[in-house]
Homo-oligomer: A and B are copies of this chain.
Amino acid sequence: MTNSDRTTSTEASAAAAPGKEHGREPGRGPGRGPGKRERLVAAAAQMLHQQGVEATTLADIAKAAGIPLGNVYYYFKTKADIIAAVIEAHAAAIGSMLGGIQAGQADPAARLKALFATLAGENEMVARYGCPHGTLCQELAKHADGAGAPDASPLVRIPIDWAERQFAAMGRADARDLAIQVIAAYQGAALLTSALRDPAVLERESRRMAAWIDSLR
């Protein structure tokens, strides 16, 4: 899916904060600096999304985070480790977005529609760079042979599982299939939206899915 409204840890804040971050207040023990690691992960998430995994260099990430290249290796041993941290941050953001929807809506159909309403706010970004989660999954899935590449599949598995629970709560015996169908529809629309550079594709598909969910009650 995508980073939600409360996406502090992934994309929204990445480009900002170019300061050098010296002179942090003491009292937090010999920790790893005030949010430098977080800034690196946020910058990495944005660069990976906009440029793709292979095209993004550690120098790109360090520069976007306002941190010298060599210092990156104090926080992450390899590039694969940074990617894994980005995946974890995305997974956490997805979980908290879904948790927020869950807390705010009692009706499962309303929850599913709330998900698409949230995603609708990112259509322009998706039209330019694709869904941050879907594209990451697709790129990493090719290299999942043996070693190296982290597993990004939770980024689609978490929303599928959540949607399945909603459909099950609606009394659908085919909840799993419906969940896969709805997440696939979103991912496919996101792909076409970015391939065709047309946010209207995703808008129309999202509206259609909302109507479809209503038709299931």
C-alpha spacing A187/B188, complex, angstroms: 5
Q: Closest Cβ of chain B: how far from A80's Cβ, in Å?
A: 13
Known interface pairs A52-B143, A54-B52, A143-B52; A138-B194 also in contact (CB < 8 Å): yes
C-alpha spacing A142/B55, complex, angstroms: 10
Contact of B195 with A181 in the complex, beta carbons under 8 Å: no
A123-163 near B? 1/0 per residue, CB < 8 Å: 00000011000110111011110000000110111001000
Known interface pairs A130-B141, A135-B142; A181-B208 also in contact (CB < 8 Å): yes
Q: Which residue of B lies closest to A137 (CB)?
A: B195
A185 at the interface (CB under 8 A from B): yes
A16 at the interface (CB under 8 A from B): no
Q: How many copies does the complex hold?
A: 2
C-alpha spacing A139/B49, complex, angstroms: 11
Q: Closest Cβ of chain B: how far from A115's Cβ, in Å?
A: 15
Q: Report chain B residues within 8 Å CB of A54.
A: 52-55
A196 at the interface (CB under 8 A from B): yes
Contact of B205 with A181 in the complex, beta carbons under 8 Å: yes
Contact of A188 with B183 in the complex, beta carbons under 8 Å: yes
Interface size class of A (residues with CB under 8 A): 35 or more
Most chain B beta-carbon contacts within 10 A, residue among A54, A55, A160, A195: A195
Contact of B156 with A192 in the complex, beta carbons under 8 Å: yes
A14-31 near B? 1/0 per residue, CB < 8 Å: 000000000000000000
Contact of B192 with A180 in the complex, beta carbons under 8 Å: yes
Q: Which residue of B lies closest to A205 (CB)?
A: B184
A217 at the interface (CB under 8 A from B): no
Q: Which residue of B lies closest to A188 (CB)?
A: B188
C-alpha spacing A191/B180, complex, angstroms: 11
